[in-house]
Structure 1
Amino acid sequence: MAAIATAVAAATSAFTSFNLTRATPYTRRHIRTFIASSSSPNEFNITFAPPKPKPKPEPEPANPINPNLDNTELSGQLYIPWIVRDEKGNLTLQSTPPARLLHDMANASTGKKKKKGKEIASKAATKVGPTAEPKHSKAARRFYNENFRDPPQRLAKVLAASGVASRRSSEELIFQGRVTVNGSVCKTPQTKVDPARDIIYVNGNRLPKKLPSKVYLALNKPKGYICSSGEKETKSVMALFDDFIKSWDKRHPGQPKPRLYTVGRLDVATTGLIIVTNDGEFAHQISHPSSNLSKEYIATIDGEVHKRHLIAICEGTVIDGVHCTPDNVELLPGQPDKPRPRLRIVVHEGRNHEVRELVKNAGLQLRALKRIRIGGFRLPADLALGKHVELNQAQLKALGWKS
């Protein structure tokens, strides 16, 4: 170390004396050159460790899955093998997914995943079974009863809706003291009752709590049947619904059988459309003259029909002290299968035998009469005689039902 210090001191003194003789300053490069060029009697043997040799790259192993596949094709990519059965039925490996899988993935529909909690709850519900209905508070029950429960109805109306008898016959049963409400005999048909709450007995038989569902039927009435629900009638229109009443328990279990009746009437010789129901409000609204529903009839005439006959029908006639005129009268064109002349007559009052009286007053002889339309509902062309069809909401609306 002493020798190194002596050499450094000698170099410093030489640099100082040399710097005084020249005005140009020396840079670091000049200092290094000067120090390297200076001769020193001492020689330094400084050696450094050789650099650590770099490891030789090992050769890439062959593809363990498919030795025939070149690794250069998979450089920098993740190889996922696909086992595919070829046309001969042999299993082979390939680097791309099958075309069928790609097609199914492209056409697959996406959806939201169900939460685990909901899945567990649904599984538990299927295992345990249906749970009991939750108990509501008194305020909630009171609100439901005041706003959604059917209001109490007159006793005679409830008996008629339950199928006991007609409205008038039910009133007679009440007057005779054969009906009890909550253990007391009731002789007032206007008494308001609720079948779901009140205990009603008729001739010692308990009235069911549930009233039957509302029924709305359209019947193609055949000739020779009377529109009466009386049990004494041997050939009543109600006899055409025996199969419907017998199958009621299968379609509506737990409900009493309905008592059906016709909306309005057709005489025994008239055929065609007639409505049958167990809804009194509906029947009253459709049959009342204030509904102003038009009814269309087809009248088959014996003999020839002239213009004077049409004018006489249009002028109308007096029925029960009221002058009645039709809305429309038209002579239909003849058809090969129907040689007799036919008239299309539209009325809206619907008085008893109105169409027959109009034809008779014109001096024509009526052979057959058929009703084909009430309001906006027309008798289906494929409905055979004696058959019926249930009406849907659109058809009821066409009849003028506003409920």
Structure 2
Amino acid sequence: MAAIAAAAAAFSTLNLSRTSVFLPRCHLRRAITSSLSSATTELGAKFAAPKPKPKAHKPAPREDSEQFIPWTVNDESGDVTLKTTSSERFLRAVVNESTQRKKKKEDRGSGGKDKPGVPTAEPKYSKAARRFYNERFREPPQRLAKVLAAAGVASRRSSEELIFQGKVTVNGSVCNTPQTRVDPAKDIIYVNGGRLAKKLPPKVYFALNKPKGYICSAGEKETKSALSLFDDFMKTWTKRNPGTPKPRLFTVGRLDVNTTGLIIVTNDGEFANQISHPSSNLSKEYIATISGAVSKRQLIAISEGTVVEGVHCIPDLVELLPRQPDIPRARLRIVVHEGRNHEVRELVKNAGLQMHSLKRVRIGAFRLPTDLGLGKHQELNAASLRALGWKT
């Protein structure tokens, strides 16, 4: 109340009348505040300082490093007392418990079922799970001749001859029909007294840069086969794929002994038939190196085509490539899609030109890799197979 009275007296000292000019609100607030502070000083009013916040009590660190565990025990008179140290019996029990757990883990790791390096038995699936797998993922029974060829016994035609000769038995009986459907995983097949493996080799696909002087078949003793370039690959097959039969490789299509470049090697007959069939309409690009000059008339003669094996073959494209400093001879880029025997050579010969060398650089949309040297092969991925027209 005294402070309010002092404030009223200070306000009256301003001698403000109705006719006087009013001060702004900020000046009025400043004047009242200063008068209140002066009045408080004159009246001797004092405010107490704020009490400091009590500090959290931290227990003094123990001299020993042992953890403090309160423990209640019953003394001799039956009263309950609080001990400042743990019971010796309790500490021994804790030590024994941890030791027993470690011992169990060690025993399990040394002689238990989870010992590393010990093969475990395959899980037994239910009949419904096996039926689901067989219906959707397992390959259906295939023709006997096809199974023999896929197993690497011989080619499809040679396998049929073995069947006709009575050298193949299925489940103990001689089979003379190549079209018989068999499943190597279930049926017992013998060829010339040898048991056929239950597991067929996986499908493999390669691009080979064939050198000059190699033929694309098994070949005779005096002629080198392009498949001999895979000898190192076949020697290390068992080491890389234990328990899996070796694939029987063959070339898709052919290149004559003097032609170099791209050729596909696989063990998948269905893939080979699909991309080599005329219905696939895959174009093939060749680089022909010509001895001598090439005139415009000769280019027109090549583009008009020629008769090969009784069929008039016309190339898709004929182009004279620009000369390069390191290649003095003229080069032609010729694209065909029929791929008849010696077709490109016959086109060049019909135009009156002399072929120096011939190289295939493309099949379909797959081009021979520039870093693939002569005699080297490269495994094809899914994108490369699609570029070759493989639809599966």
Please report the TM-score for the alignment, with normalisation by the length of structure 2: 0.70
Match of 1:152 in 2: 141
- Structure 1 residue aligned with 2:359, among 351, 363, 370? 370
**Per-residue deviation, residues 12-37 of structure 1 (Å, max 9, x unmatched):** xxxxxxxxxxxxxxxxxxxxxxxxxx
SS of aligned partner of 2:227: helix
Which residue number in structure 1 is paired with residue 314 of structure 2?
Answer: 325
* Structure 2 SS opposite 1:267: coil
Deviation at 1:194, TM superposition (A): 0.5
Pairwise CA distance, 1:197: 0.5
Identify the match of residue 151 of structure 2 among 129, 140, 162: 162
Q: Residues 73, 144 of structure 1: CA spacing in aligned structure 2 closer, same or farther, 3 A cutoff?
A: same
77 and 361 in structure 1: CA distance in 2 versus 1, 3 angstrom threshold: farther
The equivalent residue for 2:250 is 261
1:342 matched to 2:331? The reply is: yes
Quote the RMSD (CA, aligned, Å).
2.5
Match of 2:391 in 1: 402
What pairs with 1:3-402 in structure 2 (closer than 5 Å)?
A: 75-76=55-56, 126-127=114-115, 132-230=121-219, 232=221, 234-402=223-391
The alpha-carbon deviation at position 317 of structure 1 amounts to 1.0
SS in 2 for 1:262: strand
Q: 1:146 to 1:77 in 2, by over 3 A?
A: same
Residues 231, 152 of structure 1: alpha-carbon distance in 2 compared, 3 angstrom cutoff: farther
The TM-score, its normalising length taken from structure 1, stands at 0.68
SS of residue paired to 2:224: coil
382-391 vs 142-151, which moves further: 142-151
State the distance in 1 between where 2:236 and 2:363 align.
28
Distance between the aligned counterparts of 1:74 and 1:346, measured in 2? Answer: 95
**Any conservation in 1 of the 2:282–2:364 contact (CA below 8 Å)?**
yes
| Residue 141 of structure 1: how far off its partner (Å) | 2.1
The residue type paired with residue 224 of structure 2 is K
Task: Give the letter for the 1:321 counterpart.
Answer: G
Shift of 1:130: 6.5
SS in 1 for 2:214: coil
CA–CA distance in 2 between the matches of 1:339 and 1:131?
67
For residue 320 of structure 1, report the CA deviation from its aligned partner. 1.7
SS in 2 for 1:336: coil
Could you tell me how far apart the structure 2 residues matched to 1:264 and 1:233 are? 22
| Map of 2:31 onto structure 1 | none
Contiguous gaps of at least 5 residues in structure 1: 1-71, 82-119
> Aligned partners of 2:293 and 2:379: how far apart in 1?
39
Do 2:215 and 2:223's aligned partners in 1 also have CA atoms closer than 8 Å? Answer: no
Paired residues, number? 293
Q: Which runs of 5+ in 2 are unaligned?
A: 1-51, 62-104
Give me the identity figure in percent: 78
Deviations 1:167-219 (A, max 9, x none): 11111100000000000000100000000000000000000000111110111
**Is the Cα–Cα contact under 8 Å of residues 298 and 344 in structure 1 kept in the other structure?**
yes
Task: Please give the alpha-carbon distance, in whole angstroms, between the structure 2 residues aligned to 1:251 and 1:372.
Answer: 31
Describe the superposition over 1:331-377 as per-residue Cα deviations: whole angstroms up to 9, x where unpaired.
Answer: 11101110000000111111111111111111111110000111111
Opposite residue 169 of structure 1, the aligned amino acid is S
| Higher radius of gyration, 1 or 2 | 1
* Cα drift, residue 267 of structure 1: 0.4
Letter of the aligned partner of 1:402 in structure 2? K
Mark the CA change 1:201 to 1:75 in structure 2 (over 3 Å): closer, same or farther: same
Q: Distance in 1 between the 2:58 and 2:180 partners?
A: 87
Q: Secondary structure at the match of 2:215?
A: coil
Question: 1:397, 1:262 → 2: CA distance?
Answer: 18
| Contact 1:229–1:260 (CA under 8 A) maintained in structure 2 | no
The letter of the residue matching 2:128 is: A
Q: Residues of 2 paired with 1:273 and 1:234: CA distance?
A: 20
For 1:28, the equivalent position in structure 2 comes to none
Query: Which digits, 9 at most, give the CA deviation of each residue in 1:51-71, with x for residues without a partner?
Result: xxxxxxxxxxxxxxxxxxxxx
Maintained 8 Å contact 2:152/2:248 = yes
